[in-house]
Structure 1
Amino acid sequence: MPSQSRDEIEHVLSSAKSRRPWRLWALGAGALVIAVGAWVWLAPSRDSTGTSYITQAVTRGDLTVTVTATGTVQPTTEVEVSSELSGTLASIDVDYNDEVTVGEVLARLDDTKFKAQVANAEAALAAAKAQLAQAEATQKEATALYETQAELDRRGVSTHSTFVTYIAQRDRAVAAVQAAKASLTLAEANLALEKDDLEKSVIRSPINGVVLDRNVSAGQIVAASLSAPTLFTLAEDLRRMQLLVDIDEADIGQVAVGNDATFTVDAYSGRSFPATITQVRYAPETTDDVVTYKGVLAVDNADLLLRPGMTATATITVDEAKDALLIPNAALRYAPPQEVEDAGNGASGLIGLVIPSRPGSESGTASGKSVWVLRDGTPVEVAVTPGATNGKFTIVTAGDLAVGDQVITDQRDTSR
């Protein structure tokens, strides 16, 4: 082999030997980086002391459950007074806020036409009576002639055809009396109707109360042919009012007749008025796809501070408990997180073998029938039987809980 070729081969081998330590160093450095990464990756998951629990003590006290509803104050009885007759209003005898009694005159229609109609009916009645008297006289005459002719016919003095004529005259007289009596009855009925119209031309109050509204004035024409117009609105005894509220369908199951309530109105800020549920109606009312039910509350308005139509917000007491064991509602909603394997964070290949997937966690699901109590620094699940709630606290009717126990309402992770 030529000497030049031998020298070149020895040079190549010498260069390869000189680069081998650098490759070993690079491999060692990579292993060190992987080891550091694995420690950083797994270090937080090994910290089991980084959870801080938020707790609240179990207490004993009174609990009141309420339902809120809005509505308006209304009179217990409200009457709209109309006119059955058409005509011109001759006078208006009452005004707004006037107190009225049963039968008191509110307004009068022009009664000229009605008086004339009564007079006409009275004349017709007198004529019917005269016709009846005339028919009765004719009947007596025809009856007497019939009896005389019957005796003659029995003796054979007169012909039978003549007797038949007297029979017909008697029957016609009897029918005329019946017709006259019917005409008399009709005339009496017509007179009663005309007198009734004359009486109704005077519009009177049907109740004892107060005038809330007056929709007419003297000289105005009232047309009752199509629909009876409302002339006055009367309220009966404003010292006893009622509050009509709309109760949401989610709350209607808790409300019952006899529940006590309080309500406020904008006119008297800071003052509440007592009331009592007297009726919960079955008929639903739907507004913008929201279903409500009407509740009626009796209101004492002896001082006359409340007025019809006032908007009110009522707070209805649906349940009360004295000296009950209470827990916060947040305790019933708490459940410790559940650890799960987070497969999405795992690496693949050689790094995946060195750095395993670290575990993750997801929120637990509370059953609402148990709470977690912190005992000796450790959460312990305790089964409970919840009762009534006011939205903030819940009554515990059964369960291994005592006053002062620290129930967990939330937790914080302090490991990072």
Structure 2
Amino acid sequence: MDKTKLKKRLKWIILLIVIIAAGTFGYNYYQQKQQIANTPIIESVPAKYISMKSVVSATGTIKPLESVEVSSKITARVKQVLVKENDHVTAGQTVALLDGKDYETQKEQAEFTLNNAKIKYDRTSYLYNIGAKSKEELDDAQYNYDTAESKLAEAESNLAETVITSPMDGVVIGEPVTDGTMAVQGNSNPTVIMRIADLSQKQITAKVDETDIGNVKVGQKATFTVDAYSGKTFTATVSKISQTDLDNSWNTSSSSSSSSSAAVIYYSVTLDVDDPEGLLMPSMTARVEIETANKDNALAVPLSALKTDSNGSYVVIVKKDGTTENRYVETGIYSDDNVEIISGLSEGEAVSVAMAKKTTKSNNNQRNSGPPPRF
């Protein structure tokens, strides 16, 4: 073989070796980049003692502690309303008058009937005593007299009901009815002449989710805000927890219960309000935070560090050499951002709070090669 052919063959061999070496280097470099890209970044924070407060959030409506709807026990036209909205009234104060002409007439008729029945009874009683009337006739006269007496008492009571008085000390809430309105009696839908409330004491009726109601107890303190006073915080105390949900779903049929099983269940919680300045008004919406637990010195980690499986709650301990260990823990109170660790963890131990992958720049084709990941 001549030297020219040998040199050409040698060049091709060297070129092939260079290509193979470059390919091997490129492949190994790509593998290393992929390995780095897929290597998790472990972010960790130390467990530390902090002050913690656990709260239950709810929304409610402000209402007076005591309020009444003043209506009439008789049907009559309103002759005169003697108070107006925001007037202070006292128990027993006359607040309205009804037209009592018909009831005055009924009283006069009842008085006449009673007098007549009394005369007949006295005469029958005299005749019975001398043997001129039977016992049955005396009993009938007695019955008529007693009936007339009852009718007069009823007529007097109806006439007295034309004077409407306040049943309590308080403030007139809203506009009363106008003069001339027909006040209709009734048990189901009587005419409300006016509303009176004691605004010195107020309450909040709040809706609490069933997942939180177990943490709420009578006597717990709460804070709340209203839209009318931006930036101002009011205080309240839990005074009552309803034993039935707001929809009374436990008392519905099985078919209704099954159809609404996915609905959120709420319970009514009543809170006594502190309002010494008298700023709050009935029907205002209150955004309430009930303090269910409070610790000044709790060993805590971020909520994002806590994980759960079939064996319970655990955290991922990050050791100084970078290795990790799953450690089961007992938890205490929860706040919006942290959870108390009662046992299983010591102060200063680092726990993983996030696991993320390193990202590298990619070309447009790589970015558009598929749909975004689902979490």
Counterpart AA for 2:241: V
The offset of 1:37, in angstroms, is: 6.9
Is 1:269 the counterpart of 2:219 in the alignment?
A: no
**Aligned with 1:214: secondary structure?**
coil
**Matching residue of 1:107:** 96
Distance 1:90 1:49 in 2: 86
Structure 1's 86 and 136: CA in aligned 2 closer, same or farther, altered over 3 A?
Answer: same
**Matching residue of 1:176:** 137
Distance 2:36 2:286 in 1: 57
Counterpart pick for 1:228 among 190, 198, 213: 190
Is 1:408 the counterpart of 2:352 in the alignment?
A: yes
Distance 1:53 1:366 in 2: 24
**Matching residue of 2:147:** 186
Distance 2:359 2:60 in 1: 53
**Aligned with 1:55: secondary structure?**
strand
Give yes or no for contact 2:223–2:233 (8 Å, CA) kept in 1: yes
**Matching residue of 2:246:** 285
**Aligned with 2:313: secondary structure?**
coil
Distance 1:72 1:400 in 2: 43
Distance 2:106 2:359 in 1: 102
**Matching residue of 1:315:** 289
Give yes or no for contact 1:243–1:299 (8 Å, CA) kept in 2: yes
Distance 1:46 1:204 in 2: 86
Counterpart pick for 2:172 among 203, 211, 220: 211
Q: Which runs of 4+ in 1 moved over 3 A?
A: 24-52, 223-227, 286-290, 364-367, 411-416
Distance 1:37 1:51 in 2: 23
Structure 1's 267 and 415: CA in aligned 2 closer, same or farther, altered over 3 A?
Answer: closer
1:342-357 map, 5 Å: none
Counterpart AA for 2:281: R
Higher helix share: 1
Counterpart AA for 1:131: K
The offset of 1:88, in angstroms, is: 1.8
Distance 1:304 1:39 in 2: 76
The offset of 1:132, in angstroms, is: 0.7
**Matching residue of 1:256:** 217
Structure 1's 131 and 380: CA in aligned 2 closer, same or farther, altered over 3 A?
Answer: same
Structure 1's 410 and 240: CA in aligned 2 closer, same or farther, altered over 3 A?
Answer: same
Distance 1:269 1:48 in 2: 49
Give yes or no for contact 2:307–2:315 (8 Å, CA) kept in 1: no
Distance 1:272 1:117 in 2: 58
**Aligned with 2:160: secondary structure?**
helix
Counterpart pick for 1:395 among 340, 347, 372: 340
**Aligned with 2:130: secondary structure?**
helix
Distance 2:40 2:138 in 1: 113
Counterpart pick for 1:381 among 326, 345, 354: 326
Structure 1's 377 and 49: CA in aligned 2 closer, same or farther, altered over 3 A?
Answer: farther
**Matching residue of 2:71:** 82
Counterpart AA for 1:332: L
Q: Which moved further from structure 2: 279-288 or 247-256?
A: 279-288
**Aligned with 1:244: secondary structure?**
strand
Give yes or no for contact 2:37–2:357 (8 Å, CA) kept in 1: no
Structure 1's 415 and 380: CA in aligned 2 closer, same or farther, altered over 3 A?
Answer: farther
TM-score (norm 2): 0.80
Counterpart pick for 1:139 among 112, 125, 128: 128
**Matching residue of 1:5:** none
Structure 1, unpaired ranges of 5+: 1-20, 143-169, 335-363
Give yes or no for contact 2:235–2:273 (8 Å, CA) kept in 1: yes
**Matching residue of 2:251:** none
Counterpart AA for 2:147: L
Give yes or no for contact 1:214–1:231 (8 Å, CA) kept in 2: no
The offset of 1:47, in angstroms, is: 6.2
Distance 1:47 1:76 in 2: 66
Distance 1:119 1:48 in 2: 103
The offset of 1:51, in angstroms, is: 4.8
**Aligned with 2:157: secondary structure?**
helix
Distance 1:116 1:48 in 2: 100
Structure 1's 267 and 41: CA in aligned 2 closer, same or farther, altered over 3 A?
Answer: closer
Distance 1:311 1:99 in 2: 25
Q: Which moved further from structure 2: 311-320 or 324-333?
A: 324-333
Counterpart AA for 1:314: V
**Matching residue of 1:295:** 269
**Aligned with 1:197: secondary structure?**
helix
Q: Deviations over 1:150-185 (max 9, x none)?
A: xxxxxxxxxxxxxxxxxxxx6x52221111111111
The offset of 1:31, in angstroms, is: 7.1
The offset of 1:32, in angstroms, is: 6.8
Give yes or no for contact 1:47–1:415 (8 Å, CA) kept in 2: no
**Aligned with 2:230: secondary structure?**
coil
The offset of 1:62, in angstroms, is: 1.4
Give yes or no for contact 2:68–2:195 (8 Å, CA) kept in 1: yes
Counterpart AA for 1:373: V
The offset of 1:204, in angstroms, is: 1.1
Q: How many residues align?
A: 338
Distance 1:367 1:39 in 2: 42
Distance 2:144 2:358 in 1: 107
Give yes or no for contact 1:51–1:415 (8 Å, CA) kept in 2: no
Distance 1:281 1:365 in 2: 34
Structure 1's 367 and 48: CA in aligned 2 closer, same or farther, altered over 3 A?
Answer: farther
Structure 1's 188 and 393: CA in aligned 2 closer, same or farther, altered over 3 A?
Answer: same
Distance 1:202 1:67 in 2: 48
- RMSD between superposed Cα atoms in Å: 3.2
